[in-house]
């Protein structure tokens, strides 16, 4: 027996010892913090692997669909996604597994699904061993059945994910930049190629099509200082010249740029950061814990928010590569001040509409419907990145701050922010209209 097999056997035995030997069944219901910890570990893996914001939203969607679908099997008050979402599988139930612990099965399904969608699956394997040990299930048969069910659900969700056109978009030809004036080109310091130019071809969940909430066109490109477009360019320039401490704090808190590139002379190195979707997944965990939600309530909140983020990126990216609008940095350097740099680093994709404005508003619509219009909370998401906690009086208060942060950061015009929020609100309402989880 080689060392790798021996180590695996030791880990399995350790888990069994930890989960066995006290009273039959659970000593107490497992805390929903176990699900929150699972989400955090998936987020850390996503950050480690430097996935783009759209791709990160895809990982959250399928992992949370697996967890929710497992829990819904054991709760007659909640509906399956089967029959509500196009081509969603009829996931096999407990008839083939025997008695199970649904919370344990859900966490296992979450990890197994997430692990198939990231590069560094070994990071999640470490998390599985630790978190599963917190389940105090004495009956080994129930424990094994639970993992078996979790695996079955994960297999079904992964099979469903393979038909969302993601693999096909990996094979597309390299993006060709438009030579027309006013069209987007890569920006300093990295001049990174266009990110996910074919994301609109990904299969949506609640949307009829990527263009269902197509926003109004951006202001017409012009270098005339009296034009609406140039007035918005100058607004960005002037706003960033006199940022207050609060505006700097807002821009920094909502930066969420996984592509941040540090430059020191000829040396370039990346700083790994949270994606916008990852920030809202963190908010879900903090808010549901504060509200005292149970397992199925917490999981359904993660799921609906994940769908809003996923469809939000599809809709937003559809518009970004339709309008291909030039970024403020390029305009200001060419026509206003060649030495100007935005407070935040410009991300590598077209300007219109603002992705953070779209997905934040979509997520806020869902969370407001589920947890309340005036749900106040403290957001500690960015503390591990050295930024202080911020308090929000409501989810809409938070999404409005996230949206305007893009102006303070110097990376979006006002039209992209305001029209992006209209776009996001429509997507959030569509998610709530299309998908009914609770009976």
Average pLDDT of the segment spanning 36-53: 96
Number of domains in the chain: 2
Are residue 258 and residue 365 in the same domain, yes or no?
A: yes
Torsion of CA 27, 32, 35, 37, to 10 degrees: -90
- To which H or E segment does residue 86 belong? none
Are residue 264 and residue 386 in the same domain, yes or no?
A: yes
Short-list 395, 317, 394, 392, CA closest to 362? 395
Strand stretches in 280-351, DSSP E:
none
Whether 17 is covered by a domain: the verdict is: no
Strand 390-392 vs strand 377-379: parallel, antiparallel, or unpaired? antiparallel
Are residue 278 and residue 157 in the same domain, yes or no?
A: no
pLDDT score at 139: 86
CB atoms within 10 A of CB 50: 15
Distance, C-alpha 85 to centroid of its chain: 19
Short-list 233, 236, 230, CA closest to 343? 236
Confidence of residue 2 (pLDDT cuts 50, 70, 90): very low
Are residue 305 and residue 335 in the same domain, yes or no?
A: yes
Residue with tokens 């299930």: 137
- The percent of residues above 70 in pLDDT, for the chain, comes to 90
For 130, residues 6+ apart whose C-beta sits below 8 A from its C-beta are: none
Distance, C-alpha 7 to centroid of its chain: 34
Short-list 122, 113, 102, 130, CA closest to 26? 102
* pLDDT 10s digits, 150-174: 999 999 999 999 999 999 999 999 9
Average pLDDT, the chain: 91
Residue with tokens 């997430």: 114
* pLDDT 10s digits, 364-386: 999 999 999 999 999 999 999 99
Short-list 76, 137, 130, 60, CA closest to 105? 137
340 burial type by CB count under 10 A (0-12 exposed, 13-18 middle, 19+ buried):
middle
Whether 281 is covered by a domain: the verdict is: yes
Whether 297 is covered by a domain: the verdict is: yes
* pLDDT 10s digits, 320-339: 999 999 999 999 999 999 99
pLDDT score at 202: 98
Are residue 155 and residue 229 in the same domain, yes or no?
A: no
pLDDT at residue 10 greater than cutoff 70: no
Q: What six digits make up the tokens of 344?
A: 């935040």
Whether 428 is covered by a domain: the verdict is: yes
Left (φ > 0), alpha (ψ -120 to 50) or beta: where does 50 sit?
A: left
pLDDT score at 339: 97
Are residue 221 and residue 343 in the same domain, yes or no?
A: yes
Residue 327 to residues 10, 254, 346, 352: CA-CA distances in angstroms?
Answer: 55, 19, 8, 9
145 upstream amide cis, omega within 30 of 0 = no
Are residue 264 and residue 402 in the same domain, yes or no?
A: yes
CB 431 within 8 A of CB 208: no
pLDDT at residue 272 greater than cutoff 70: yes
pLDDT score at 264: 66
Are residue 72 and residue 110 in the same domain, yes or no?
A: yes
For 48, residues 6+ apart whose C-beta sits below 8 A from its C-beta are: 120, 123, 272
CA distance 63 to 93: 18
Whether 424 is covered by a domain: the verdict is: yes
Are residue 104 and residue 207 in the same domain, yes or no?
A: no
52 upstream amide cis, omega within 30 of 0 = no
Confidence of residue 86 (pLDDT cuts 50, 70, 90): confident
pLDDT score at 17: 33
Residue 399 to residues 36, 225, 239, 332: CA-CA distances in angstroms?
Answer: 21, 31, 20, 27
pLDDT score at 138: 75
Average pLDDT of the segment spanning 186-205: 96
Percent of residues in the chain assigned helix, strand, coil, to nearest 5 = 55, 5, 40
Separate counts of helices (H) and strands (E) for the chain = 15, 4
Q: What six digits make up the tokens of 318?
A: 């559809």
Are residue 87 and residue 206 in the same domain, yes or no?
A: no
Average pLDDT of the segment spanning 409-419: 98
* pLDDT 10s digits, 229-245: 999 999 999 999 999 99
Average pLDDT of the segment spanning 20-48: 75
Find the range with the poorest average confidence among 6-15, 246-255, 425-434.
Answer: 6-15
- The percent of residues above 90 in pLDDT, for the chain, comes to 83
Query: What is the domain-level CATH number for residue 284?
Result: 1.10.606.20
pLDDT score at 248: 98
Are residue 146 and residue 201 in the same domain, yes or no?
A: no
- To which H or E segment does residue 248 belong? helix 245-253
The residue with greater pLDDT, 179 or 2, is 179
Whether 175 is covered by a domain: the verdict is: no
Whether 210 is covered by a domain: the verdict is: yes
Domain containing 223: what range? 183-434
CA distance 128 to 308: 27
Strand 377-379 vs strand 267-270: parallel, antiparallel, or unpaired? unpaired
pLDDT at residue 437 greater than cutoff 70: yes
Query: What is the domain-level CATH number for residue 87?
Result: 1.20.144
Are residue 386 and residue 301 in the same domain, yes or no?
A: yes
CA distance 424 to 291: 25
* pLDDT 10s digits, 106-161: 999 999 999 999 999 999 988 888 888 888 777 889 999 999 999 999 999 999 99
* pLDDT 10s digits, 346-359: 999 999 999 999 99
Residue 358 to residues 136, 280, 351, 417, 418: CA-CA distances in angstroms?
Answer: 42, 12, 12, 8, 9
pLDDT at residue 3 greater than cutoff 60: no
CB 69 within 8 A of CB 157: yes
User: Which of 130, 162, 194 is at the close of a domain?
Assistant: 162
User: Which of 129, 162, 195 is at the close of a domain?
Assistant: 162
Confidence of residue 281 (pLDDT cuts 50, 70, 90): very high
pLDDT score at 23: 29
- Report H helices in 74-163: 102-117, 121-132, 140-161
């Amino acid at each position: 027996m080689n060392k790798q097999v021996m180590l695996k056997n030791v880990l399995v035995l350790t888990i069994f010892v930890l989960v066995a030997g006290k009273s039959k069944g659970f000593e107490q219901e497992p805390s929903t913090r176990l699900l929150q910890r699972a989400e955090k570990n998936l987020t850390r893996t996503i950050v480690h692997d430097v996935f783009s914001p759209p791709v990160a939203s895809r990982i959250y969607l399928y992992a949370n669909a697996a967890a929710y679908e497992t829990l819904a099997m054991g709760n007659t008050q909640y509906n399956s996604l089967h029959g509500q979402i196009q081509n969603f599988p009829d996931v096999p139930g407990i008839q083939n597994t025997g008695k199970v612990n649904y919370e344990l099965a859900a966490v296992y399904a979450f990890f197994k699904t997430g692990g198939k969608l990231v590069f560094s699956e070994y990071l999640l394997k470490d998390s599985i061993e630790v978190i599963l040990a917190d389940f105090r299930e004495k009956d080994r048969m129930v424990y094994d059945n639970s993992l078996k069910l979790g695996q079955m659900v994960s297999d079904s969700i992964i099979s469903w994910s393979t038909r969302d056109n993601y693999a096909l978009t990996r094979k597309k030809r390299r993006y060709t930049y438009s030579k027309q004036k006013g069209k987007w080109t890569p920006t300093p310091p990295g001049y990174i190629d266009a990110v996910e130019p074919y994301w609109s071809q990904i299969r949506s969940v609640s949307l009829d099509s990527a263009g269902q909430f197509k926003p109004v066109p951006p202001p017409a490109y012009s270098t005339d200082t009296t034009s609406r477009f140039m007035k918005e360019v100058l607004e960005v320039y002037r706003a960033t010249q006199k940022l207050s401490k609060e505006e700097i704090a807002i821009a920094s808190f909502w930066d969420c740029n996984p592509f941040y590139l540090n430059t020191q002379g000829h040396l370039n190195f990346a700083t790994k950061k949270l994606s916008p979707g990852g920030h809202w997944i963190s908010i879900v965990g903090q808010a549901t814990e504060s509200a005292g939600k149970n397992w199925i309530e917490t999981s359904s909140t993660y799921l609906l928010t994940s769908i809003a983020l996923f469809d939000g990126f599809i809709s937003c990216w559809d518009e970004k590569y339709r309008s291909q609008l030039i970024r403020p940095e390029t305009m200001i350097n060419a026509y206003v001040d060649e030495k100007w740099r935005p407070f935040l680093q410009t991300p590598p994709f077209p300007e219109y509409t603002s992705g953070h404005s779209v997905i934040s508003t979509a997520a806020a619509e869902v969370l407001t419907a589920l947890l309340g219009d005036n749900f106040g909370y403290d957001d500690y998401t960015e503390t591990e990145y050295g930024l202080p906690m911020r308090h929000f009086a409501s989810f809409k208060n938070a999404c409005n701050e996230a949206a305007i942060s893009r102006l303070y950061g110097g990376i979006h015009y006002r039209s992209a922010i305001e029209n992006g929020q209209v776009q996001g609100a429509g997507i959030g309402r569509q998610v709530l209209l299309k998908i009914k989880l609770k009976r």
